[in-house]
Structure 1
Amino acid sequence: MENVQQQRVEKLWTADFILITLASFFLFFGFQMLLPTLPVYMQDLGGDNTAVGLIIGIFTVFALVTRPLVGAVMGDSKKGWLMAGLLLCFVIISGYHWTTSVVLLLLARCVHGVGWGVVTVTSGTLAADVIPAARRGEGIGYFGLASTLAMALAPAIGLAILDGAGQMPGVILVAAVSTILSFLCAWGVKSKRGNKDVHTANVEKPQAKPSFRSQLFEPKALFPSLLALLIGIVYGGIVSFITLFGKEVNIGNVGLFFTLNAVCLLVVRLISGRLFDRKGHVWVILPGSVLIAASLIVLSYADSQMTLAISAILFGFGFGAVQPSLQAWILNRVEPAQRGQANATFYSMFDLGIGGGAMLLGRLAEATSYAAMYRYSFFVIVLFCIVYVSYVWRRRQSPLK
């Protein structure tokens, strides 16, 4: 108990934590600028809804393959892998300027997916190392605020540049500069924490040689990651098609959705991380999933700025509670040495959901409409709730882990 109390007062806002959080902000700022603009660019190049879905889908496949490999081999070289991944992201984002056909754009997305797979695993794992174990839910929540703030600003700015004089070259330039700033911030991270963990430090265990399977994914992370996959399917449908949905139903300025969504993400993460640490994941994940389901129903019937805004607010509160809580839950289930594999498993499943959702829902939208596509997405969250509640029910006689 004394050790736990000592860790409770450990400082969270160290220079390293601030720098890795800033690095995450600039990384996601460049990334988020491209999410609503590349689908429009793809259509301008002659791509259909299936090709638009592939922008996210093929990107995700390469990130998916990359993450577990990096999680298995990076060891103590997290920073080196992060710097290499950021450099690759910068090069390929700059190269979007020369993607003048559907094929070239999809090839560029393949390479970008590799870089993204590297940086998301290494940045999240490096952040976990510098966050005190007893404040992990809070720390991961604050770390996630960086990507949330980027989501609040970048999509609307990207769409404004796309519609303005700069058009797509202007979007690419700003995204590339933001990625270089991420590189510089990550370069300044010098130390690491995380050799001891409040959940595991009290027991010394002999280190057996890991199996090939355990190097590729972390078994203890599989169930929460499955839930992340289901959330990813819904998220993939939103980020891939919300701009085109706005055109379908004649709603202008869909950038408002991203901004309001992200502001709500920002607000809820200030609360949900501490609630997670004090009460457990049930108090955060279940209410959050209900809000996501409600947001999809509202979005499917949206025909004005007002209904679009309501959907954005509901989704922001729901997604902002669920996604970081799933990640913190995973990190609490594993020992420090397995955080790399655990993060790789989480992000891979989440992105598999995003990519698979973008491709499958794109075909569905082609056959029906974007509005109908979002109504069908509601049932994915219903499945999420059924699976999650079943898990909690089965473990009601033992501590939730």
Structure 2
Amino acid sequence: MKIKEEEKLFNKGFITITIINFVVFLVYYCFVVITAKYATQSLGASTAQAGFAVGIYIIGTLLARLYIGKKLELFGRRAVLRYGALFYLITTAAYLVSSNIFILDGVRFLNGFGYGAVSTAANAIVTAYIPEAKYGEGINYYGLSTSLAAAIGPFIGLLLLPLVGFKAIIILAVVLAFITMLACFKFKVNNIVLTEESRAKINTFSLESFIEFKVLFIAGIAFLIGIAYSSVLGFLSIYADQLHLVTAGAFFFVVYALVVTLTRPMSGKIFDRHGENAVMYPSFICLTIGLILLAFTGNTFVLLASGAFVGLGYGTFMANGQAVTLKLVEKDRIGVALSTYFIGLDLGLGVGPYLLGAVKGLLGSYQHIYIFCAVIPIIVAILYMIFYKPGKATKVNG
């Protein structure tokens, strides 16, 4: 493809799909930190019902990743991106009619499906705009859009909810989703031309048609890292309130975003020049340090320092795990492979709060949850060292 032969990383297509991805994730992360509070305070839901309303979004996302990941190249990347964005807009607007917890559950499920469809298409489309020699750098810049959304979205949600209320945030999200949909319909997307053998494989109902086995290990690692980070998304607001550091808790995500923005380009270049191990091990170490600092924080400085290390850890891993995934598969399996990777990551983020809630019942405090989660990246590093062989995954970067 002509686009793939271009050596310029920041071409129009790359920038456009990166911005689209940022807004889609921004809307998701904005809602994820405020849904439980809205469900309990405005809809009279129990804590269990509120937790289900948060988690059912991930179920919709996982179903979308499984189905769309399998059928992406058959349907065509262009169609999935455009009509997925339209569905995402409609289901985002549907929050306005969520007058009870059951309607909210349905809206969350459908909105999660729309989010999964658009993000799966975008993750595949961006690979066509990155020169092969710059895959690590390109994916890191693209992943920056996700990492920034994971920081800015919760910050916006936590900041605006007490000021303007849930419905005002919905309206803002609808406007953003509408602009994104227009961009998707105007954006030029080249579909992959499939061979008859590839089409037959896609239409075959088998586990291989839904899951890429070559990336199961890195997807499993992503699942564990997702559980560790879910402790931040799920409990930081409550934990900061207990410590009387509510304002610092909101700015935790700002520090996270700044650190990710400053370090992401460097980590991408290190990935390309020295291989994945040069960035993966430091990401595990930094996430552990960040969670330990969070567990023992007693003032604003330590809390914000924790945000910096969590950004270096989770933010770096998220993009470089995606880059590793791309190195392991052929072009016609990119959609399924990325879907498999993000299923692992999303599943960790989704089930994490439930699992950690049970751990809290055993350990007794949020501090112990963060200590528990700090151990997870250490276990991940050991598993990665034993089972992952980077020498077998050099196809893309040569």
TM-score by length of 1: 0.88
Residue 116 of structure 1 deviates from its aligned partner by 1.6
Give 2:35's aligned residue.
38
Give 2:188's aligned residue.
190
Preserved CA contact (<8 Å) 1:52 1:362: no
Whole-angstrom distance in 2 between the partners of 1:103 and 1:205? 44
Give 1:227's aligned residue.
221
- The answer to whether residue 385 in structure 2 is matched with residue 378 in structure 1 is no
Give 1:65's aligned residue.
63
Preserved CA contact (<8 Å) 1:89 1:112: yes
Preserved CA contact (<8 Å) 1:137 1:276: yes
Q: Give the secondary structure class of the aligned counterpart of 1:190.
A: coil
Select which of 313, 319, 327 maps to 1:324.
Answer: 319
- The letter of the residue matching 1:100 is S
- The answer to whether residue 19 in structure 2 is matched with residue 19 in structure 1 is no
TM-score by length of 2: 0.89
Percent same amino acid among aligned pairs?
27
- The letter of the residue matching 1:79 is R
1:349-392 per-position Cα deviation (integer Å, ceiling 9, x unaligned): 11111111122113333552222222211222222111111124
Whole-angstrom distance in 1 between the partners of 2:85 and 2:6? 33
Residue 32 of structure 1 deviates from its aligned partner by 2.2
1:210-266 per-position Cα deviation (integer Å, ceiling 9, x unaligned): 252221011111111111111111122221222122222221122111111111111
Q: How does 1:281-296 map to 2 (within 5 A)?
A: 281-296=276-291
- The letter of the residue matching 2:372 is Y
Q: Give the secondary structure class of the aligned counterpart of 1:247.
A: helix
Total equivalences in the alignment: 385
Whole-angstrom distance in 1 between the partners of 2:197 and 2:29? 43
Residue 86 of structure 1 deviates from its aligned partner by 1.8
Residue 101 of structure 1 deviates from its aligned partner by 3.1
Greater relative contact order structure (CA < 8 Å, 6+ sep) = 1
- Indicate how the Cα distance of structure 1 residues 49 and 237 shifts in structure 2: closer, same or farther if over 3 A, else same: farther
Q: Gaps (5+ residues) in structure 1? A: 1-5, 196-203
Whole-angstrom distance in 1 between the partners of 2:300 and 2:44? 29
Whole-angstrom distance in 1 between the partners of 2:50 and 2:62? 19
Give 1:311's aligned residue.
306
Whole-angstrom distance in 2 between the partners of 1:41 and 1:147? 24
Q: Give the secondary structure class of the aligned counterpart of 1:389.
A: helix
- The answer to whether residue 23 in structure 2 is matched with residue 29 in structure 1 is no
Structure having the larger proportion of residues in helix: 2
Preserved CA contact (<8 Å) 2:73 2:191: no
Residue 52 of structure 1 deviates from its aligned partner by 4.3
- The answer to whether residue 217 in structure 2 is matched with residue 218 in structure 1 is no
Preserved CA contact (<8 Å) 1:71 1:344: yes
Preserved CA contact (<8 Å) 1:97 1:169: yes
- The letter of the residue matching 1:21 is T
Preserved CA contact (<8 Å) 1:297 1:374: yes
CA RMSD of aligned residues (A): 2.5
- Indicate how the Cα distance of structure 1 residues 146 and 207 shifts in structure 2: closer, same or farther if over 3 A, else same: closer
Whole-angstrom distance in 2 between the partners of 1:63 and 1:7? 29
- The letter of the residue matching 1:376 is F
Preserved CA contact (<8 Å) 1:7 1:134: no
Select which of 164, 173, 176 maps to 1:175.
Answer: 173
Residue 338 of structure 1 deviates from its aligned partner by 0.4
